[in-house]
Amino acid sequence: MPKTVLTTHTATGAGRGGRVKALPDQMRQHNRSLVLTALFHDGAMSRADLARTTGLTRVTISALVGDLVTAGLVREQGAREASGPGKPAVVVDLDRTGLTIIGVDLSGSHEIRGAVLDLSGTVLHRSNVRRPADGDASETLAILERLIDDLRESATGRVLGVGVGTPGIVSDTGVVVASPDIGWHDLPLQENLRERTGLPVYVANDADVATLAERTLGGAGENFML
């Protein structure tokens, strides 16, 4: 399965040939994303396996894994069964049982659907609420915010972030440019929810996120239609 790593790059001045230099913190975030992506897609592996998979040095991997363990994102699973001479390697993986996410679907015409999920996409708790019958845009936003609050309260593990799929045109910064079905226009939904919850929030078009979910967690092959 192709793997996509999302990273943030900030121009800090171009060197020879117009290449932009990355700051150390940016490189660290990029390398951290490589490690988390590898574990998410490929499952538990040793530090040596991670070095081979990501192309990073073992020293870099050791430091990154240590930081991720301290942050509570990665857990040591114990030593794997020895297959030869030498000390058995310690296997690490994402904390797949202790970490959760909140997903909200606004594509329904009569209700807003929300759920708490683990990192494998398994629904741990589900909650649906009615959308305003009169299509009140402000009330819809208030209901969405209360639903997210309730889902967060029901989560038994640490909530990593919130994902929202909404109909309409959505910018890459999570601004709902136009959603006639709901009545939202130029609403900075991602920023508003991030400030309200204090969590990372991702807002995108509902069809786009449905496709992404099917490609990442569903049974879709290399080419498919949704």
- pLDDT at position 64, please? 96
pLDDT recorded at residue 111: 94
Which CATH entry fits the domain spanning 16-94: 1.10.10.10, 1.10.40.50, 3.40.50.720, 3.30.565.10? 1.10.10.10
What is the location of CATH 3.30.420.40 in the chain? 99-217
- Per-residue three-class SS string for 60-76: HHHHHHHHHHHCCCEEE
Return the pLDDT at 43: 92
Separation between Cα atoms, residue 55 and residue 35, nearest integer Å:
10
**In angstroms, rounded to a whole number, what is the distance separating the alpha carbons of residues 202 and 171?**
11
pTM of the model: 0.79
Q: Highest mean pLDDT range out of 78-82, 93-97, 112-116?
A: 112-116
pLDDT band at 115, cuts 50/70/90? Answer: very high
| pLDDT tens-digit map of 24-52 | 889 999 999 999 999 998 999 999 999 99
Provide the pLDDT confidence category of residue 14 given band limits of 50, 70 and 90.
very low
Q: Please, what sign has the CA dihedral across residues 139, 145, 147, 149?
A: negative
- How large a percentage of the chain has pLDDT more than 90? 67
The dotted CATH code for 99-217 is 3.30.420.40
Spatial contact of 47 and 61, defined as CB atoms under 8 Å apart: yes
| pLDDT tens profile 168-225 | 999 999 999 999 989 999 999 999 999 999 999 999 999 999 998 888 888 788 888 8
State the pLDDT confidence band at 6, using cuts at 50, 70 and 90: very low
The angle at the Cα of 124, spanning 123 to 126, to the nearest 5 degrees, equals 75
- Give the pLDDT score at 82: 60
Q: How far apart are CA 130 and CA 109, in angstroms?
A: 9
- pLDDT number for residue 103: 96
